[in-house]
Amino acid sequence: MAGRSKEAEKMTFGIISKNAACIECYRLLSAIYSKRGSHGEALDALEKALQQNPKEPGVRAELHFSKGNQLREMNLLDHAFQSYKLAVELNPDQSQAWMNMGGIQHIKGDYASARKYYQRALQLSPGSKLLKENLAKLDRLEKRQNGA
């Protein structure tokens, strides 16, 4: 795929034409489209992957996580949140999904909820600098909000 996304896209469609249930093909297409900034197309590819009804919860969790990322890029935060929620229901150890749910709540001004999600993510990734920074930002916002 490195620098040859048109070629990769064409090859992937060739595989799909022979095997429409190729979940990895749809994931690859999603990555190609996402890299191009075509988030709607990336989302469609992920939907097609999910329609294949993958048996492994880990695969389904990854697809929902990726779907959440595309929705977040499209600024559809409520839908993104729901996708991340499905991802952590399938894989509770998905710290990035917990952090992204915290980020969405943070943006929406629900600081208590944001803190809960950030802290869950921090339990899973205690060394995350970004999580610690987000929690520090949250502390500052709450102090400002409380007039301190």
Q: For 4-14, how does the pLDDT look when each residue is reduced to its tens digit (9 = 90+)?
A: 777 777 787 77
Q: Both tokens of residue 95?
A: 């710290």
Q: Are residues 75 and 10 in the same domain?
A: yes
Q: Where residue 74 sits, what CATH number does that domain have?
A: 1.25.40.10
Answer for the pair 35, 47: CB distance below 8 angstroms, yes or no: no
How many folded domains does the chain comprise?
2
Q: What is the pTM of this model?
A: 0.86
Co-location of 58 and 33 in the same domain = yes
pLDDT, position 3: 61
- Mean pLDDT to the nearest integer, 31-35: 91
* Angle made by CA atoms 58, 40, 55, in degrees to the nearest 5: 20
How would you class 71 by CB atoms within 10 Å of its CB: exposed for 0-12, middle for 13-18, buried for 19 or more? buried
pLDDT-based confidence at residue 142 (cuts at 50, 70, 90): confident
Instruction: Show the domain range for 123.
Output: 96-148
User: Do residue 85 and residue 67 come from a single domain?
Assistant: yes
Phi, psi for 54 (deg, rounded to 5)? -60, 140
Side chain identity at residue 27, one-letter code: R
49 shares a domain with 22: yes
Determine the Cα angle at 126 with ends 122 and 127, to 5°: 125
Write out pLDDT tens, residues 54-91: 999 999 999 999 999 999 999 999 999 999 999 999 99
- In angstroms, rounded to a whole number, what is the distance separating the alpha carbons of residues 64 and 57? 10
| Domain identity same for 32 and 87 | yes
Based on the fold, state whether residues 106 and 87 are members of the same structural domain.
no
* Domain edge (last residue) among 69, 92, 115: 92
**CB neighbour burial string for 76-94, b if at least 16 within 10 angstroms, e if fewer:** bbebbbbbbbbbbebbeeb
| 3-state DSSP assignment of residue 64 | helix
Cβ proximity of 91 and 59 under 8 Å: no
Regarding whether 80 and 19 lie in a shared domain, the answer is: yes
